[in-house]
Chain A
Amino acid sequence: MMDRYSQLGTAASLAAWRDAGLTVDAAADQRDGGVSWGTSLGGTQTFEDGYRNLYLQRPPARISPLGVIMGMNNACASHIAMQLGLAGPCHTFSVACSSSTVAIGEGFRRVRSGECGVVVAGGSDATLSYGVLRAWQAMRVLADGNEETAARACRPFHRQRQGLVLGEGGGAFILEDWDRAMARGARIYAELGGFGATCDHSHLVRPNLDGQVRAMQIALADADLAPAQVGYVNAHGTATREGDPIEIAAIREVFGDHAEALPVSATKSMHGHMLGATGVIESIATVLSLYRQSIPPTAHLDEVDPACAGVRHIVGGPLRDVTLEAALCNSFAFGGSNAVLAFRRHRQL
């Protein structure tokens, strides 16, 4: 009864819930517990299967009676709420590549406002269906590769970068009210301090410097952080020719003199572009960099494009034993929707 995107998201949410030391109880009826989920494609594999049966088979095969509820974009959020007994707001955000970043930001606001005591926030997408791949290929933004080069095909900020590599997956955070988390002695990976969201309002796919700059500035102000306090930016870094230099220019504008020494990496080089799930996976990398005081690299970046210079690219391997107090995670979506999360280190007492 679940599309693959719902399976990925529900599995991630259950793992996160257990990792947070909480009990899985479908009967909990937790009135102040919410779900804030992101997906770009929703149940696209269900729809693709249905259309294949309907249009290609002769006589046309039938569409499953569960096609609607498997394919709908809020199916995953509902499955999570049912599994965990969460009775508060259960919402889905579809904002292309910013989907789960927006979902985390909106869930964060519900906790901060006091509306929710706990929110499962994240996203999932199952991108690797034939129709989806062909559509992305037609846009000419996918990296080429053969058997030898495929593993290093995604090379953000590289002089010879060729484009993105689609991945699929799901990830989830348990966002919990501070006092409540402290009271139960929860393990806290980091504090979510701020969220910035803007729209380029200029072009469906061409990124815009001003929109990205504003999103980062709003996130910093929301978290009450000065640029110099930030020690790492997890970049959106999709490895397209057009996108990467604009993001670096935006980071340089926001961070000014601090930019040259500011560690930046794009973990898409390792996990690919998971569309609606990519923001949460990159946010997890960002949070773990604060938790472990170790910054992940941009893989395969052995020749930085001069157009992407001006920040401290982390290459070759993780930057270990850093003193990292705050970090940003950037997501910049088709449609011009920019979303940035600002995280702070938490020192466990």
Chain B
Amino acid sequence: MSETDTLALLREFLKKHSGQASESVTPESPLSSVNIDSLMLLELIFEFEEKFGISVPNEFPTPDTVGELVSAVDALRARKTEESN
């Protein structure tokens, strides 16, 4: 469920910011192929932090694909859920 939410938010963000069609954004997509550069990644991290109430650490590894980004964010969300339980 959470994976879907993260990917859905990412797709919604890309559609709004760069007009990227949602179906073209798959877990296998390299970030460069969906126009996520270093600045866009900063904005995305900001969006994830705001929407999911997580804190992305500075040493967050730079992902290569959409799937890696979603997994890393989901791991942070899972950790937050554990901490609050």
Q: Which of B5-13, B25-33, B39-47, B61-69 lies at the interface?
A: B39-47
Instruction: Please pick, from A1, A65, A69, the residue contacting B46 in the complex, using a CB distance under 8 A.
Output: A65
**Which residue of chain A has the shortest Cβ distance to B49 in the bound complex?**
A62
Contacts of B42 in A (CB 8 A): 65-66
Interface: A64 (CB within 8 A)? yes
- CB-based contact A62/B46 at 8 Å: yes
Task: Give bound CA distance, A66 to B41, whole Å.
Answer: 11
Task: Give bound CA distance, A1 to B40, whole Å.
Answer: 10
Contacts of A66 in B (CB 8 A): 39, 42-43
Min CB distance B38 to A, Å, is 10
- CB-based contact B45/A62 at 8 Å: no
Contacts of B43 in A (CB 8 A): 64-66
Interface: B82 (CB within 8 A)? no
Task: Give bound CA distance, A66 to B40, whole Å.
Answer: 9
Interface: B83 (CB within 8 A)? no
Interface: B23 (CB within 8 A)? no
- CB-based contact B50/A1 at 8 Å: no
Contacts of B39 in A (CB 8 A): 1, 66, 69
Min CB distance A79 to B, Å, is 13
Min CB distance A204 to B, Å, is 37
Min CB distance A70 to B, Å, is 10
Min CB distance B45 to A, Å, is 7
Q: How large is the interface on B (under 10, 10 to 19, 20 to 34, 35 or more residues)?
A: under 10
Which secondary structure characterizes the binding site on chain A? loop
Q: Digit string of A46-89 for contact with B (CB within 8 Å is 1, else 0)?
A: 00000000000000001011100100000000000000000000
Min CB distance B2 to A, Å, is 23
**Which residue of chain A has the shortest Cβ distance to B44 in the bound complex?**
A65
Contacts of B49 in A (CB 8 A): 62
Task: Give bound CA distance, A62 to B39, whole Å.
Answer: 17
**Which residue of chain B has the shortest Cβ distance to A61 in the bound complex?**
B50
Task: Give bound CA distance, A1 to B42, whole Å.
Answer: 12
Contacts of A65 in B (CB 8 A): 42-43, 45-46
Task: Give bound CA distance, A1 to B46, whole Å.
Answer: 14
Which of B41-81 touch A at CB < 8 Å? 42-43, 45-46, 49-50
Min CB distance A10 to B, Å, is 17
Contacts of A1 in B (CB 8 A): 39
Contacts of A62 in B (CB 8 A): 46, 49-50
Contacts of B46 in A (CB 8 A): 62, 64-65
**Which residue of chain A has the shortest Cβ distance to B50 in the bound complex?**
A62
Task: Give bound CA distance, A112 to B8, whole Å.
Answer: 55
Task: Give bound CA distance, A64 to B45, whole Å.
Answer: 11
**Which residue of chain A has the shortest Cβ distance to B46 in the bound complex?**
A65
Contacts of B45 in A (CB 8 A): 65
Task: Give bound CA distance, A66 to B44, whole Å.
Answer: 11
Interface hub of A62, A65, A66, A69 (most chain B Cβ within 10 A)? A65
Q: Digit string of A1-18 for contact with B (CB within 8 Å is 1, else 0)?
A: 100000000000000000
List residues of chain A with CB under 8 Å of any chain B CB. Answer: 1, 62, 64-66, 69
List 8 A-B residue pairs with CB atoms under 8 Å apart, sorted by A's residue number: A62-B46, A62-B49, A64-B43, A65-B43, A65-B45, A66-B39, A66-B42, A66-B43
List residues of chain B with CB under 8 Å of any chain A CB. Answer: 39, 42-43, 45-46, 49-50
Given A66-B39, A66-B42, 5 new contacts (CB under 8 A): A1-B39, A62-B49, A62-B50, A65-B42, A65-B46
Q: Which 3 pairs between the two chains have the least Cβ-Cβ distance?
A: A65-B42, A65-B46, A65-B43
